Amino acid sequence: MRIVNIVGTRPNLMKIAPLMEAYADAPGIEPILVHTGQHYDDNMSDLFFRQLGIPEPDLNLGVGSGSHAVQTADIMKAFEPVVLERDPAAVVVVGDVNSTIACGLVASKLGIPLVHVEAGLRSFDRSMPEEINRVLTDAISDLLFCTEQSGVENLRREGVAEERIHLVGNVMIDTLVRHRARAAQSPILDDLGLAEGEYAVLTLHRPSNVDDPETLGRIWDALEALQRDMPLIFPAHPRTRRRMAEFGLSPRIDALENLQVLEPVGYLDFLQLMARARLVLTDSGGIQEETTILEVPCLTLRENTERPVTVEMGGNQVVGSDPERILAAYRKIVDGQAGSGATPPLWDGRAAGRIVEILTQVL
């Protein structure tokens, strides 16, 4: 049974890695890995193949960056002949990026069963490109694998047939569990001169935060104050680096003494940075989940989250972009509020195995 699997961006790689491993134990499955090329820098793509032991993609569509329409259309045009030629039993897409919906649409229109891993998450904010990708991908998927109960409930409410929905846990956490001990050997804290529990980690890349100079400026007001109190480590996403330069923010940021702006770092270093931090500030989806398992407090610099279990069970707080709100939440954490010790159901490192078992039965 031939299954085509899609990756395009950095977070897709942490999600596909355990699936590729689980296929290796399923003799009836012939996995094919297709990279759309949406992310292409070594430190946004190839580095993760090496670190996570993901097999070389069978094909790289080399699509690269572009507007939403250009990127989505280019992926579709490049992927259609691949599906026609390989004639798979199913196409598996993960997450909520443009590569997810583009390849999903191609598969669905060609009548190939579409499998969505990380289905049902909803921020209920249609101004987020990822929310459009989630809603549309789920609407055309034949098998929907959910990470948390809220996803199951969202899909039921949208009328998805019960037999298509499976709560299986979180493949991104499979990767964390698998690599946690190795990450603990990373020398990154020494390299950056950091003491365990005495620094904060920051990531930012949502268009709503970084493409709007006013919002980005307000977030930096908070971060400027925060870094006076605690060292702040910021591996900057390429979108964000570009915007900071365009908005003329770079001189202001370069002047901050207690801030280290880095290139994006590899998975093992980043996991170690998060695991030993006092707190993490982020607008990433995956990092809200990883900090939940690492029991590190997380301040989500957004107005909403599609991953409510990280707030209900973990130490995640959704604090938006208002400096006073961010700093008030920060002070509470520094004054002793820790991340909670709860693990969401099935976030146990075995989600990919469950998915492959169901695929084998259903397909």
Contact call for residue 10 and ligand UDP (CB under 6 A): yes
x/- contact string, 227-246, with ligand UDP (CB under 6 A)? --------x-----------
Instruction: List the one residue out of 206, 177, 135 whose CA is nearest residue 343.
Output: 177
User: Binding of ligand UDP at residue 285 (CB under 6 A)?
Assistant: yes
Residue 255 CB, nearest approach to ligand UD1 (Å): 25
Contact yes or no for 115/104 (Cβ under 8 A): no
Residues in 167-226 at the binding interface with ligand UD1, rule: CB under 6 A: 205
Q: Does 282 bind ligand UD1 (CB under 6 A)?
A: no
Name which of ligand UDP, ligand UD1, none residue 138 binds, using a CB cut-off of 5 to 8 Å depending on partner kind: none
From the centroid of its chain, how far is CA 60? 20
Contact 265, 188 (CB under 8 A): yes
By CB under 6 A, name the one of 1, 25, 41, 250 that touches ligand UD1: 41
CA-derived radius of gyration, the chain: 20
- Contact segment (CB under 6 A) with ligand UD1 among 84-92, 134-142, 174-182, 234-242 equals 234-242
Looking at residue 337, what DSSP letter applies?
P
Based on DSSP, count helices (H) and strands (E) in the chain, helices before strands. 17, 13
What does the alpha-carbon distance between residue 107 and residue 235 come to, in Å, rounded to a whole number?
35
Nearer CB in complex with ligand UD1: 39/278: 39
Indicate the burial class of 237 (C-beta count within 10 angstroms; 0-12, 13-18, 19 or more): buried
Q: Taking contact as CB under 6 A, which single stretch among the options 39-47, 136-144, 174-182, 266-274 is the one that binds ligand UD1?
A: 39-47
- The neighbour count for residue 190, using CB atoms within 10 Å, is 8
**Count of CB atoms within 10 A of residue 335's CB?**
7
Residue closer to ligand UD1 by CB (options 9, 108) is 9
Q: Does 349 bind ligand UDP (CB under 6 A)?
A: no
- Run of H or E residues at 353: helix 351-362
Token pair in block for residue 84: 């026609």
Binding to ligand UD1 in span 124-143, by CB under 6 A: 129-130
Active site residues: 205
Q: Does 8 bind ligand UDP (CB under 6 A)?
A: no
In this structure, are residues 108 and 88 in contact, taking their beta carbons and an 8 Å threshold? no
CA distance 325 to 63: 40
Question: Would you state the structure tokens that stand for residue 304, as one six-digit string?
Answer: 């909403």
Which residues are CB-contacts of 319 (< 8 A; sequence separation ≥ 6)?
A: 299, 300, 301, 325, 326, 329
- At 116, which amino acid appears? H
65 binds ligand UD1 (CB under 6 A): yes
Residue (of 2, 7, 144, 143) closest to 75 by Cα position: 7
Could you tell me the smallest distance in angstroms from the CB atom of residue 203 to ligand UDP? 5
Query: Helix or strand or coil: residue 113?
Result: coil
What, of ligand UD1, ligand UDP, none, does residue 265 touch, CB below 5 to 8 Å by kind?
ligand UDP
Residue 63 CB, nearest distance to ligand UDP (Å)? 17
Judge whether 150 and 308 are in contact, CB under 8 Å.
Answer: yes
Number of chain positions touching ligand UDP (CB under 6 A):
15
Confirm or reject binding of residue 344 to ligand UDP (CB under 6 A).
Answer: no
98 forms part of the interface with ligand UD1 (CB under 6 A):
yes
Q: Of 20 and 132, which has the nearer Cβ to ligand UD1?
A: 132
Site track 283-322 with ligand UD1 (rule: CB under 6 A), x = hit: ----------------------------------------
Q: Which of residues 164-223 bind ligand UDP (CB under 6 A)?
A: 203, 205
Binding stretches for ligand UD1 (CB under 6 A): 9-11, 38-41, 44, 65, 96-98, 129-130, 205, 237-239, 242
Binding stretches for ligand UDP (CB under 6 A): 10-11, 14, 203, 205, 235, 264-265, 267, 270, 284-287, 290
